[in-house]
Amino acid sequence: MKCFYFFKGKKGQANSAPELRDQSKSNSPSPSRTAKSLPSPRSVPELYKEKEHNLRVFSFQELREATNGFNRLLKIGEGGFGSVYKGTVRPASGQGDPIVVAIKKLNNHGLQGHKQWLAEVQFLGIVSHPNLVKLLGYCSLDNERGIQRLLVYEYMPNRSLEDHLFKRGMPILSWRKRLEIILGAGEGLAYLHGGMEVQLWPWRVSLGPTGDRTHVSTAVVGTYGYAAPEYVETGHLTIHSDVWSFGVVLYEILTGRRTLERNRPVVEQKLLDWVKQFPVDSKRFSMIIDPRLANEYSFNSAKQIAKLADSCLKKNARERPAMTQVVESLKQILQDLGGSTSTNMNAESSQSSLFRRKQNKV
């Protein structure tokens, strides 16, 4: 479709500096200003124009060599948008040691089209936060064999939260470490929601594991179990939808369970339905806490995390807290945790934890 041809450049050549055609005319209608109104936030394309020189333009051959011909042994993630490979590239200066990177190759028949790929380049090209993966560059090639769209990110050697929580063979994340990680994620999301002072729509960033698992997804599609109810019903994604997704992840770090686990009994397969059976103020609440933590966690902070998750998961989107409020709550929980993570449980909760561990051995 012609509406997807947004790149300048001749056929068969690698394109530079991707830009949307007539961007100012269509995507984000600006509200009319009055004498008392604040200036409209700057759009993503406007900010991208100022920072596009920071992104490196790679040739397709360069990225092919970086991944040994997109070798399956170097594949570190795969989803509807395409595959992610671990690779090494030469520094832009041509001097120094090779740089380890993650290369996302768009599947031409996948869910993410050129427009979504372009949005990801422009959006990630302007964000800068220690808790957000950094986009280093991209490759865009059009020739007689079709189109090639690739993104080059910094490589995350420590892998994702999803890997540490759910993959076998990984060390068990301590309670404190889980809280520190989720605080960092919350700070990154709060930055995206407010600190940038730009128009984010339609450059939304969804929280929660995706097919690519190690990288941010900007496409307006949902991973099952993480999508807010209003998004499922209307297809409209807002910052309130992100808060819902964050609430799901809070329950994941608390329980050590995925949002959907089909290998469990029917009543336990859907995480959010299952945890409703164990309200935070009930005597059975401790039954949902990840048994791998044993007694090495604070019962009081676990309850606080559950209450925070519940506030993020309110059905009425406008009743959910802002991410800045979520971050402040997480900071307070960590501060209250102090130097101890394991001695605040009462006798009842200790017995429940022991019961759960015995259950898992049966």
Architecture of the domain spanning 2-19+42-154: 2-Layer Sandwich (3.30)
Give mean pLDDT, residues 193-213.
44
Query: SS3 of 12, please?
Result: coil
Q: Which helix (H) or strand (E) holds 99?
A: strand 99-106
Confidence (pLDDT) at 196: 54
The response to whether 177 counts as a known ligand-binding position is: no
> How would residue 18 be classed by pLDDT, with cut points 50, 70 and 90?
low
Predicted TM-score (pTM) of the model is: 0.71
287-332 pLDDT per residue, tens: 999 999 998 999 999 999 999 999 999 999 999 999 999 999 999 9
Confidence (pLDDT) at 211: 40
Confidence (pLDDT) at 110: 57
Is residue 183 predicted with pLDDT exceeding 90? yes
Cβ–Cβ < 8 Å for 335, 270:
no
Give mean pLDDT, residues 211-230.
57
Pairing of strands 99-106, 198-199: unpaired
100 CB burial (10 A radius; 0-12, 13-18, 19+): middle
Phi/psi at 172 (nearest 5 deg)?
-70, 130
- Please give the order of strands across the beta sheet that includes 99-106: 56-57, 135-143, 146-154, 99-106, 82-89, 75-79
How many angstroms separate the CA atoms of 354 and 172, rounded? Answer: 18
**Residue type at 68 in one-letter notation:** N
Confidence (pLDDT) at 81: 75
Q: Per the structure block, which two tokens stand in for 148?
A: 């090639």
Q: Which of 183, 182, 195, 184 is nearest to 239 (CA)?
A: 195
Give mean pLDDT, residues 253-269.
94
Q: Which of 128, 111, 133, 290 is nearest to 207 (CA)?
A: 133
**Residue type at 357 in one-letter notation:** R
Is residue 248 predicted with pLDDT exceeding 60? yes
> Which residue ranges make up each domain of the chain?
2-19+42-154, 161-356
Is residue 210 predicted with pLDDT exceeding 90? no
- Superfamily name with CATH number, domain 161-356: Transferase(Phosphotransferase) domain 1 (1.10.510.10)
Give mean pLDDT, residues 69-86.
88
121-180 pLDDT per residue, tens: 888 888 888 888 889 999 988 877 678 899 999 998 887 788 888 888 888 999 999 999
> How would residue 113 be classed by pLDDT, with cut points 50, 70 and 90?
low
Pairing of strands 56-57, 135-143: parallel
